[in-house]
Structure 1
Amino acid sequence: MATNAHQMDSSRLEAFTDGVMAVALTIMVLELKPPHAPAWRALAAQWPVALSYILSFIYIGIYWNNHHHLMRVTEGIRGRILWANLYWLFWMTLIPFATAWMSETEFATVPVALYGFVLLMAACGFFLLQHEIVRFNGRDSLLAKAVGRDTKGKISAVLYLAALAVVSWQPYLSCALYAVVAAIWFIPDRRFERAVMR
């Protein structure tokens, strides 16, 4: 059972993370520039910006949701967990930059590759965060039971690597694979809820 101090640290960690995620979303919104011409055609020409924004918004939303569930089943935290959380947030804060570059270049190879690399590193950061929490709370902790074999996480890593492997000649296919990963996680994940109910 976590002490009150651990619970306070967990609340502060979650509040800080919420703030960082909100800033990341705000930065992405500020990158949305209205077209100069007052016509639907001018708005339609902004499709790379719109698609990039929607995909990144979904990704940040998924991570925010999963982090919330993660904290619900975290019984105690320590310094290594705080640093793991910061490492994950570092990559999350790069999503707006990668999104802007990808949309402004209309999905050119290098920006799409950078975007995928940032997503892969963010996934690795979240995995590290989960690992550190399980390591501190024990293999019998709620989180360990909720994560289980983490099949979705492993599939996601494979898809990210596949996307990076084909990006040099098929950047649009890479973007499609990024969207597939988002779709996998967009489906409600009941593992954490079941762990809490137990």
Structure 2
Amino acid sequence: MSKERLQAFTDAVLAIIMTILVLELDRPETMSFEGFWSLRASFFSYALSFFWLGAMWVTNHNEWHFVRKIQPSTVWWTILMLFFSSLFPYTTSLVDTHFNNAFAQGFYGIVVLLVTFANVMLSQSLVKADPDNEQLAQGGLLGLGGIWFDVAIKVAGFIITVTLFAPAMMLAVLLTMIVFVIPAHISMAKRNY
């Protein structure tokens, strides 16, 4: 399989998942500011999930620019990443209706961690397919150190979610986007333009 075909498939599936997210949003009981304000947790959950998936798409796009070879494990890690990503509309809808519920937030966190793990393994499969590729060997967008901080924050968010403060998982995802992902994308854009 060519990298272009796998990339096109990934783009299509992520676009569908991101579109389905909006279909899960509740409608306000009354068409007023108060009606929409009562759905603020739903809109936050939707926006966070949408932008996290969007950031993942941009990251994949930027990293795949340097990919020259793929191997069968790359295809299967991509399929696994997309499978876990496809659970986002469901887990986001659970968090929408049970924002302060540790189980709902924990389930969301498990999906985030599984997608993150699949992405790390996907990156590793790309390095194994092309070990001489310096761009891939450096650990992609976040670098080898950055990805482990990203994972550590998400794991800490999950632990805090299931023990002390239910929304901690979503806050951990937001924190990793603000501290690691967005600055890395800005830095990469400055280097490339």
TM surpasses 0.5: yes
Which residue of 1 is the match for residue 166 of structure 2? 171
In structure 1, how many angstroms separate the alpha carbons of the residues matched to 2:165 and 2:54? Answer: 27
- Give 1:192 shift: 9.0
Which residue of 2 is the match for residue 55 of structure 1? 48
SS of the residue corresponding to residue 171 of structure 1 reads coil
Give the direction of change, closer, same or farther, for the CA distance of 1:19–1:140 in structure 2 (3 Å limit). closer
Give the direction of change, closer, same or farther, for the CA distance of 1:120–1:193 in structure 2 (3 Å limit). farther
Aligned residue runs from structure 1 range 31-110, under 5 A: 31-110=24-103
Which residue of 2 is the match for residue 144 of structure 1? 137
Q: Deviations 1:94-133 (Å, cap 9, x if unpaired)? A: 1111111011112310010011111111111000000000
In structure 2, how many angstroms separate the alpha carbons of the residues matched to 1:149 and 1:69? Answer: 13
Which of 156, 169, 172 is the equivalent residue of 1:162? 156
On the 8 A contact 2:99/2:105 being kept in 1, the answer is no
1:117 pairs with 2:104: no
SS of the residue corresponding to residue 109 of structure 2 reads helix
Please, what TM-score do these two structures have when normalized by structure 2?
Answer: 0.89
Identity %: 21
Which of 166, 181, 184 is the equivalent residue of 1:185? 181
- Give 1:79 shift: 1.3
1:127 pairs with 2:120: yes
Aligned length: 189
Which residue of 1 is the match for residue 4 of structure 2? 11
Return the letter of the residue paired with 1:85: T
SS of the residue corresponding to residue 110 of structure 2 reads helix
In structure 2, runs of 5+ residues without a counterpart are none
In structure 1, how many angstroms separate the alpha carbons of the residues matched to 2:122 and 2:171? Answer: 27
SS of the residue corresponding to residue 132 of structure 1 reads helix
Return the letter of the residue paired with 2:88: I
On the 8 A contact 2:70/2:126 being kept in 1, the answer is yes
In structure 1, runs of 5+ residues without a counterpart are 1-5
On the 8 A contact 2:138/2:144 being kept in 1, the answer is no
